C-alpha cells in the first residue's frame, strides 16, 4: 500500500512537468477573436449560446488529444504527417488552407492587442498593430520554446485572474446560465455568431500546433512504456488546460450577458465600446482590467499563431518546427506580416474579428477530416491507430462541424 501511495504521489508530481503544451493551445481559444465572438453572443443572446462553448470544448478535448496522440506516437506534427502520407496535390490544398486559417487567426490576435493598446494608451489601432507585430516577431525569433511556454502560462494565468475579478463585479443569473450551458438553442439570425464561437474555440491551427509542441519533451519513441506514459500525462494536461479555457470563455459570455443583454442593450459590436460601457456599470477598474486582459490575450495568442504558421509551413516541406531553419522563419513571417497588413484595410475591427473566426470554422472540417484519416491509419499510427469507437466519435464531430457550416450558408451568410 505504501509503495502504491508513493507511486501515486510521484505521478501527481510528474504531471506538473507535463503541464505546458495544453496551455499553449488553450491561449489560442481565449484570444481576441473569442472575445469578440463571446461578447457578441452574450450581449445579443444572453445566456442562450453558452451551450456552444460547452459543445465546442468537448469536441476540442477529443480533437486536441487525438492530434497530440499523433505527435507522440509518430514524432510528426499533423502538417509533416500530411506531407508524408497524403498525395502532393491534396496535401498542398489542405496545408495552404491551413496557412490561410493561421493568417486569419493571427490577424484577430494582433487586432485584439491593438484595440487593447488603444483603450489603455489611446494609440491608433493601425499603429498599435505594428507595435504588436514587432513585439511578437521579437519573441518568436529570440526566445527558445521553453521560455515562450513559460511566458504563455503566465499570460493565461493573468487572463483568468482578470476575468475572475470581472465576474465578481457583476450579478449573474446562475439558473439561466446552467440551462444555457446544456440546452442547445438556435435563436433567429444567430447562426453567424454560433459559427464564430465554434471557430473561436475549435481552431484549425491549434490542432497543428499541439501535434508539434507535444514533441518538445524529446521522448524516446522506441520504448513502449515511454509512449504509454506520455499518452497518459498528455491527456491530463489537455483536459486540465481545456477546462480552464472553457471557464474563461464562459466567463466572457456571462459577463456580456449580465452587463449588456439584461439591461436591454443592443448586441455590442466593438471591443472598445464593450470596455467603455463597463465603466458606468462596474467602475473604472473594470475597464482597465478588461483592457489589460485583452492585451495579454492578444500578445500570447499572436505568439502561438506565429508558431502554428511556422509549424504548418515547415510541414509542407516535411520538416519540423525549428525557428533556426528558413522554412520555419518563412512560415512565421508569411503568417504574421500579411495578418498585420490586412488590419490596415479593415474598416470595422470588431467585424474583422467575427469574420476571422467564421473563416476558421469553415476551414475546420478540412483539418478534422485530414486528422481522422491520419490517426485512423495503421500505416501512420501502427497499433496506436484510432479504435472503432474513437473513429465513430471523431466522425460525429466532423459531421456536426460540417452541418453547422452548411447551416451557416443556408441561413444567409
Q: Give the pLDDT mean for 163-171.
A: 79
- Non-local (6+) Cβ contacts of 263 within 8 A are 281
Return the CATH number of the domain spanning residue range 2-410. Answer: 1.20.1740.10
Q: Give the pLDDT mean for 230-249.
A: 81
- Non-local (6+) Cβ contacts of 240 within 8 A are 19, 22
Residue 154 pLDDT: 75
* Cα–Cα nearest to 305, from 140, 79, 67, 91: 140
**Higher per-residue pLDDT: 15 or 247:** 247
Share of the chain above pLDDT 70, in %: 77
Instruction: Please give the Cα distance from 413 to 389 (Å, whole number).
Output: 34
Which class for 391: exposed (0-12), middle (13-18), buried (19 or more C-beta within 10 A)? middle
* Cα–Cα nearest to 122, from 130, 114, 133: 114
Residues in the chain: 413
- Residue 398: alpha-carbon gap to chain centroid: 18
Residue 218 pLDDT: 53
Q: Give the pLDDT mean for 131-152.
A: 79
Given pLDDT bands bounded at 50, 70 and 90, which one contains residue 139?
confident
| Cα torsion through 248, 279, 267, 42, rounded to 10 | 20
Check the CA dihedral 182-187-193-199 and report its sign. Answer: positive
Which pLDDT tens digit goes with each residue over 306-362? 999 999 999 888 888 888 899 999 999 999 999 999 888 877 766 666 677 667 777
Asked if pLDDT for residue 160 goes beyond 70, the answer is yes
Phi, psi (deg, nearest 5) at residue 220: -85, 100
Domain boundaries, the chain: 2-410
Asked if pLDDT for residue 178 goes beyond 50, the answer is yes
* Cα–Cα nearest to 98, from 334, 377, 391, 402: 334
Q: Give the pLDDT mean for 357-379.
A: 87
C-alpha cell at 330: 518563412
Give yes or no for a contact between 226 and 328, defined as CB atoms under 8 angstroms apart: no
Residue 368 pLDDT: 92
Q: Give the pLDDT mean for 71-86.
A: 91
- Non-local (6+) Cβ contacts of 139 within 8 A are 148, 151, 303
- How many CA atoms are closer than 13 Å to the CA of 239, on its beta-carbon side? 7
Which class for 78: exposed (0-12), middle (13-18), buried (19 or more C-beta within 10 A)? buried
Q: Give the pLDDT mean for 200-204.
A: 74
Numbers of helices and strands, H then E, in the chain? 18, 0
Asked if pLDDT for residue 221 goes beyond 60, the answer is no
**Higher per-residue pLDDT: 228 or 70:** 70
Phi, psi (deg, nearest 5) at residue 202: -90, 95
Given pLDDT bands bounded at 50, 70 and 90, which one contains residue 411?
low
Which pLDDT tens digit goes with each residue over 290-315? 888 888 888 888 888 899 999 999 98
- Residue 176: alpha-carbon gap to chain centroid: 26
Residue 335 pLDDT: 95
Which class for 188: exposed (0-12), middle (13-18), buried (19 or more C-beta within 10 A)? exposed
Give yes or no for a contact between 99 and 313, defined as CB atoms under 8 angstroms apart: yes
Name the most confidently modeled range: 99-108, 207-216, 253-262: 99-108
Instruction: Please provide the average confidence, as pLDDT, over all residues in the chain.
Output: 81
Give yes or no for a contact between 117 and 295, defined as CB atoms under 8 angstroms apart: yes
**Higher per-residue pLDDT: 202 or 408:** 202
Among 17-31, 80-94, 152-166, whose mean pLDDT is lowest? 17-31
Residue 334 pLDDT: 95
Residue 183 pLDDT: 93
283 secondary structure, DSSP code: -
Instruction: Please give the Cα distance from 2 to 245 (Å, whole number).
Output: 36
Q: Give the pLDDT mean for 58-62.
A: 90
Residue 350 pLDDT: 64
Amino acid at each position: 500500500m505504501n509503495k502504491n501511495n508513493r507511486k501515486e504521489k510521484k505521478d501527481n508530481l510528474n504531471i506538473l512537468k507535463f503541464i505546458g503544451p495544453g496551455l499553449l493551445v488553450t491561449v489560442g481559444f481565449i484570444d481576441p477573436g473569442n472575445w469578440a465572438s463571446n461578447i457578441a453572443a452574450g450581449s445579443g443572446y444572453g445566456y442562450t449560446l453558452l451551450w456552444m462553448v460547452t459543445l465546442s470544448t468537448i469536441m476540442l478535448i477529443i480533437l486536441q488529444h487525438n492530434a497530440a496522440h499523433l505527435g507522440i506516437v509518430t514524432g510528426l506534427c499533423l502538417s509533416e504527417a500530411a506531407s508524408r502520407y497524403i498525395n502532393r496535390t491534396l496535401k498542398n490544398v489542405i496545408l495552404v488552407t491551413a496557412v490561410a486559417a493561421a493568417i486569419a487567426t493571427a490577424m484577430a490576435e494582433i487586432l485584439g492587442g491593438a484595440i487593447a493598446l488603444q483603450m489603455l494608451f489611446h494609440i491608433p489601432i493601425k499603429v498599435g498593430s505594428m507595435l504588436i507585430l514587432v513585439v511578437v516577431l521579437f519573441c518568436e525569433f529570440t526566445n527558445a520554446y521553453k521560455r515562450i511556454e513559460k511566458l504563455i502560462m503566465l499570460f493565461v494565468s493573468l487572463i483568468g485572474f482578470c476575468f475572475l475579478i470581472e465576474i465578481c463585479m457583476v450579478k449573474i443569473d446562475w439558473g439561466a446560465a446552467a440551462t444555457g450551458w446544456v440546452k442547445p438553442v438556435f435563436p433567429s439570425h444567430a447562426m453567424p455568431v454560433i459559427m464564430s464561437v465554434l471557430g473561436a474555440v475549435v481552431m484549425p491551427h491549434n490542432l497543428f500546433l499541439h501535434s508539434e509542441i507535444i514533441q518538445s519533451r524529446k521522448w524516446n519513441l522506441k520504448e513502449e512504456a515511454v509512449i504509454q506514459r506520455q499518452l497518459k500525462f498528455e491527456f491530463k494536461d489537455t483536459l486540465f488546460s481545456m477546462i480552464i479555457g472553457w471557464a474563461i470563455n464562459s466567463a466572457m459570455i456571462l459577463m456580456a450577458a449580465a452587463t449588456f443583454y439584461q439591461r436591454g442593450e443592443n448586441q455590442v459590436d466593438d471591443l472598445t465600446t464593450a470596455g467603455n460601457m463597463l465603466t458606468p456599470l462596474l467602475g473604472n477598474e473594470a475597464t482597465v482590467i478588461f483592457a489589460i486582459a485583452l492585451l495579454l490575450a492578444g500578445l500570447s495568442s499572436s505568439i502561438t499563431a506565429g508558431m502554428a504558421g511556422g509549424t504548418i509551413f515547415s510541414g509542407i516541406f516535411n520538416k519540423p518546427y525549428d525557428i533556426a531553419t528558413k522554412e520555419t522563419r518563412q512560415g512565421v513571417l508569411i503568417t504574421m506580416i500579411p495578418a498585420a497588413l490586412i488590419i490596415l484595410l479593415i474598416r470595422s475591427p470588431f467585424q474583422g474579428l467575427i469574420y476571422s473566426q467564421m473563416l476558421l470554422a469553415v476551414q475546420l472540417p478540412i483539418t478534422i477530416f485530414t486528422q481522422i484519416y491520419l490517426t485512423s491509419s495503421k500505416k501512420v499510427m501502427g497499433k496506436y491507430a484510432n479504435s472503432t469507437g474513437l473513429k465513430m466519435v471523431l466522425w460525429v464531430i466532423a459531421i456536426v462541424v460540417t452541418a453547422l457550416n452548411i447551416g451557416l450558408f443556408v441561413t444567409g451568410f
